[in-house]
Amino acid sequence: QGGGGGCWSRSQPHWFHTLQTRRLRVYRGRSNSDPLGGADDEQAFTWKAGLQFGAAQSYLSLEKLGEGAFASVYKGISRINGQLVALKVIRMKTEEGVPFTAIREASLLKRLKHANIVLLHDIVHTRETLTLVFEYVQTDLAQYLAQHPGGLRSHNVRLFMFQLLRGLCYIHSRRILHRDLKPQNLLISYLGELKLADFGLARSKSIPSQSFSSEVVTLWYRPPDVLLGSTDYSTALDIWGAGCVLVEMLQGAPAFPGVSDEFEQLQKIWAVLGVPSERSWPGVSLLPNYRIEWFLPSEPKSFRTVWKRLAQLPCKTEDLVQRMLKLVPADRISAEESLQHPYFSTLPLPIMHLRDNVSIFKVPGVRLETEVKDIFTPARRVKPSLLDAMKRS
Amino acid sequence: MEGPSSRPAATAGRRDSSGEGEDPARDTKTHFRVCRFIMETGMKLGMRSVPMATACVLYYRFFDRVSMRAYEPYLVAMSAIYLAGKVEEQHIRTRDIINVSHRYFNSGSSPLECNKEFWELRDSVVQCELLILRQLNFHVSFEHPHKYLLHYLLSVRSLVNRHAWSRTPVAETSWALLQDCYHGAMCIRHAPQHIAIATLYLALNSYGLEPPDGERAWWQVLCDNVTQEDIDAVISDLLHLYDMEAKCI
């Protein structure tokens, strides 16, 4: 052991202290953000002089919205411009540093600016916490579905679905997978704007042979290839999840619900789509978790007999569901193709040519219909005047 | 293989001149050695190519923004490895990084005791991770040339003579050349597509393989926006790195 060069030895312990003692004793948070990206500057009036992006005291938390493994989410208000924000406060465990989900969420969202992706405004760090500051969106699809049991109006389903696929098309074209699509992660504003959120499990795709962790998607929305242990999944993973969400919005109940493990989840899927064979799905028997006893005989059924709502709607709805919920991942429709599907042909044409950051509700004539339940309990409805005010802003 | 003895020399050289201003030539050498450290440590930790590339890019982008005199490059390298593991979903424990690094600098010695020094070192690695995140504004997921090279290799294989292809290790050589690009800041100076094309170009040339050109050169068909100048620039940077290897060891 070279005594002179022993930066590791007791004689010269200083080199690894430098960071702690000199650099990180900063109690005030520091910014990593480009404040409002320049373009929105005219809106950014200042409430209090001296408050900056990235500083902890620039945000006031109002109420707790939720609690996760690594983070708590608060509704808050920006003291810089008075906007409502969602504050995702991530506790940093000293032994492991910043949780990898937070790193991935922040690094991916920083690159994404789209009307159907939740906007990351700012990042604040203090000594013990890291706070991601998001735009505040009033509710999510899970709550919306719970408030309107029995399925949503088909017009609204179409608008939500278009926005979901528009968001997916955007991230997929940037080689990013969401990997955790479910109603809880789809935020819904009062206007009906849908925004993809929770990118903690999202990842950028790299080389095609790259394998990912298979423990990523909530079971109900997980495609059969991933349930069978495939780790070379790609954009088709998110399409399956989106297909499940489409059925759930129509039916008011999850497409493949309520089971405890991969085996039962697969049986739910086989019960509708039929059990695959090496002939219908070449390579299925080579997947890591393939077990012959998991492949109990089951005939495919027509979707409209399983999900009754499809029988009441034009068959292009069922056609889109069929193209999304394919057993073989390579057969599933892409997000880009799905936006061209006849299911969306009743939407006004300008909706197809919007700039990334423009909401579909800027197109004249595009608006959410009142859900049936809200017609009978009008107290829950949002005042039209409020809607108009939001639309103008 | 770089011996552990080169480390004290590097440190001594750097420390002696601290406060005397920048010396780009010496900095380049230090970066070369530190990236060699990242790759050797990464290999021993079983890191895949892409996470290792991410670690090197994190390292270079960090020192693109701050002076080498302000932070210890080997500590930044260790944190870059740790952070790259998180970004690329190949998690590596801090204690493994510390133990492997300790062995790198003090070959043949026993592992560090779990004493105060160890914990302080681990805290430093974790704190430095946050520092890198701050400096890079959380822009820590990168597009690498690896996937492009793979794609180009598959295309070129179908263009050249099958026997010539099986006789020559073009794929292995171009992949190795690609890895070597990460010894220098060139890995953040060129577009990923350009690096991929250039390493393939160099590998094919060194084995005398020439894919047939149509109206356009084969590399133009594969990558629209690359020019002969771009390719030459990458190759020149890479050859420069090989020159440096001799000076650094």
Rg of chain B's alpha carbons, rounded to an integer?
20
| Token pair 């939740």: residue | A118
Answer yes or no: do B115 and B200 share one domain.
no
* Residue A81 vs residue A319, higher pLDDT: A319
- For residue A384, the distance in angstroms to the closest alpha carbon of chain B comes to 40
- A16 touching B, CB under 8 A? yes
User: Does position A67 have pLDDT exceeding 50, yes or no?
Assistant: yes
- A121 touching B, CB under 8 A? no
pLDDT confidence of B25, banded at 50, 70, 90? confident
- A110 touching B, CB under 8 A? yes
Are residues B146 and A206, on separate chains, in Cβ contact within 8 Å?
Answer: yes
Mean pLDDT of A21-43: 35
Instruction: Say what the pLDDT of residue A5 is.
Output: 37
Q: Which residues of A touch B143 (CB under 8 A)?
A: 175, 204
How many alpha carbons lie under 13 Å from residue A193 in its C-beta half-sphere? 25
Q: Which of A45-49, A75-79, A294-298, B195-199 has the lowest mean pLDDT?
A: A45-49
- A30 touching B, CB under 8 A? yes
Quick one: which of B138, B42, B134 has its CA closest to B96? B42
User: Does position A24 have pLDDT exceeding 80, yes or no?
Assistant: no
Size (chain B), residues: 249
Catalytic residue among A34, A40, A122, A180: A180
Please check whether residue A198 is in contact with residue A179, taking contact to mean a CB–CB distance below 8 angstroms: no
Predicted-assembly ipTM surpassing the 0.85 threshold: no
Are residues A206 and B105, on separate chains, in Cβ contact within 8 Å?
Answer: no
Answer yes or no: do B100 and B214 share one domain.
no
Q: Check the CA dihedral A105-A106-A110-A115 and report its sign.
A: positive
- Helix/strand/coil (H/E/C) assignment for every residue in chain A: CCCCCCCCCCCCHHHHCHHHHHHCCCCCCEECCCHHHCHHHHHCCCCCCCCCCCCHHHEEEEEEEEECCCEEEEEEEECCCCCEEEEEEEECECCCECCHHHHHHHHHHCCCCCCCECCEEEEEECCCEEEEEEECCCEEHHHHHHHCCCCCCHHHHHHHHHHHHHHHHHHHHCCEECCCCCHHHEEECCCCCEEECCCCCCEECCCCCCCCCCCCCCHHHCCHHHHCCCCCCCCHHHHHHHHHHHHHHHHCCCCCCCCCCHHHHHHHHHHHHCCCCCCCCCCHHHCCCCCHHHCCCCCCCCHHHHCHHHHHCCHHHHHHHHHHCCCCHHHCCCHHHHHCCHHHCCCCHHHHHCCCCCCHHHCCCCCCCCCHHHHHCHHHCCCHHHHHHHHHC
Instruction: Say what the pLDDT of residue A29 is.
Output: 32
What CATH architecture is A139-203+217-375? Orthogonal Bundle (1.10)
* % of chain B beyond a pLDDT of 90: 59
Instruction: Say what the pLDDT of residue A349 is.
Output: 92
Which residue in B has a C-alpha nearest to residue A124's C-alpha?
Answer: B134
Instruction: Say what the pLDDT of residue B9 is.
Output: 37
Closest Cβ–Cβ partner in B71, B83, B112 for A19 = B71
Are residues A100 and B120, on separate chains, in Cβ contact within 8 Å?
Answer: no
Q: Measured between alpha carbons, how far is A3 from B130 in angstroms, rounded to an integer?
A: 31
Instruction: Say what the pLDDT of residue A43 is.
Output: 43
Mean pLDDT of B149-167: 89
Are residues B86 and A210, on separate chains, in Cβ contact within 8 Å?
Answer: no
pLDDT confidence of A44, banded at 50, 70, 90? very low
* Mean of all residue pLDDT scores within chain B: 87
- A24 touching B, CB under 8 A? yes
Answer yes or no: do B90 and B117 share one domain.
yes
Are residues B106 and A2, on separate chains, in Cβ contact within 8 Å?
Answer: yes
Asked, for residue B83, whether it belongs to a domain, the answer is: yes
- A95 touching B, CB under 8 A? yes
Q: Which residues of A touch B121 (CB under 8 A)?
A: 16
- For residue A181, the distance in angstroms to the closest alpha carbon of chain B comes to 19
- Domain locations in chain A? 59-135, 139-203+217-375
Q: Measured between alpha carbons, how far is A205 from A227 in angstroms, rounded to an integer?
A: 20
Instruction: Say what the pLDDT of residue B179 is.
Output: 94
Instruction: Say what the pLDDT of residue A147 is.
Output: 92
Are residues B126 and A17, on separate chains, in Cβ contact within 8 Å?
Answer: no
Are residues A208 and B150, on separate chains, in Cβ contact within 8 Å?
Answer: yes
CA distances from A341 to A156, A162, A351, B209 (A): 17, 10, 14, 46
Answer yes or no: do B125 and B208 share one domain.
no
- For residue B202, the distance in angstroms to the closest alpha carbon of chain A comes to 21
Q: Which residues of A touch B12 (CB under 8 A)?
A: 4-5
Mean pLDDT of B22-27: 79
Q: Measured between alpha carbons, how far is A32 from A29 in angstroms, rounded to an integer?
A: 10
* % of chain B beyond a pLDDT of 70: 91
> Token pair of B144, please?
């690498």
- A139 touching B, CB under 8 A? no
Answer yes or no: do B195 and B85 share one domain.
no
| Token pair 């702690």: residue | A20
Q: Which residues of A touch B106 (CB under 8 A)?
A: 1-2, 6, 8
Q: Which residue range forms the structural domain that includes residue B206?
A: 146-248
Q: Which CATH class is domain A59-135?
A: alpha beta
pLDDT confidence of A391, banded at 50, 70, 90? low
Closest Cβ–Cβ partner in A24, A204, A210 for B141 = A204
CA distances from B63 to A205, A326, B78 (A): 26, 48, 14
Answer yes or no: do B228 and B167 share one domain.
yes
pLDDT in tens, A279-292: 999 999 999 989 98
Q: Which residues of A touch B126 (CB under 8 A)?
A: 94-97
Instruction: Say what the pLDDT of residue B174 is.
Output: 96
Please check whether residue A196 is in contact with residue A167, taking contact to mean a CB–CB distance below 8 angstroms: yes
Q: Is A388 a catalytic residue?
A: no
Q: Which residues contact A95 (CB under 8 A, 6 or more apart)?
A: B94, B122, B126
CA distances from B156 to B166, B192, B219, B222, B229 (A): 13, 18, 9, 9, 21
Answer yes or no: do B94 and B196 share one domain.
no
Answer yes or no: do B118 and B226 share one domain.
no
Asked, for residue B172, whether it belongs to a domain, the answer is: yes
Mean pLDDT of B5-23: 44
Are residues A16 and B75, on separate chains, in Cβ contact within 8 Å?
Answer: yes
Q: How many domains does chain B fold into?
A: 2
Q: Measured between alpha carbons, how far is A327 from A270 in angstroms, rounded to an integer?
A: 9
pLDDT in tens, A148-201: 999 999 999 999 999 999 999 999 998 888 888 999 899 999 999 999 998 765
Q: Measured between alpha carbons, how far is A186 from A164 in angstroms, rounded to an integer?
A: 8
Are residues A24 and B11, on separate chains, in Cβ contact within 8 Å?
Answer: no
Among A11, A12, A16, pick the best mutation site for testing chain B contact (most B Cβ within 10 A): A16
Instruction: Say what the pLDDT of residue A202 is.
Output: 57
CATH code of the domain in which B206 resides: 1.10.472.10
Among A91, A107, A129, A179, pick the best mutation site for testing chain B contact (most B Cβ within 10 A): A107
Mean pLDDT of A42-67: 71
Asked, for residue B140, whether it belongs to a domain, the answer is: no
Are residues A20 and B123, on separate chains, in Cβ contact within 8 Å?
Answer: yes
Q: Which residues of A touch B130 (CB under 8 A)?
A: 24, 92, 97-98, 125
Between residues 33 and 52 of chain A, which touch chain B (CB distance below 8 Å)? 33
Answer yes or no: do B161 and B182 share one domain.
yes
Instruction: Say what the pLDDT of residue A200 is.
Output: 63
User: Does position B15 have pLDDT exceeding 70, yes or no?
Assistant: no
Query: According to the annotation, is A362 in a ligand binding site?
Result: no
Q: Which of A341-345, B74-78, B159-163 has the lowest mean pLDDT?
A: B159-163
Among A112, A207, A232, pick the best mutation site for testing chain B contact (most B Cβ within 10 A): A207
Answer yes or no: do B126 and B210 share one domain.
no
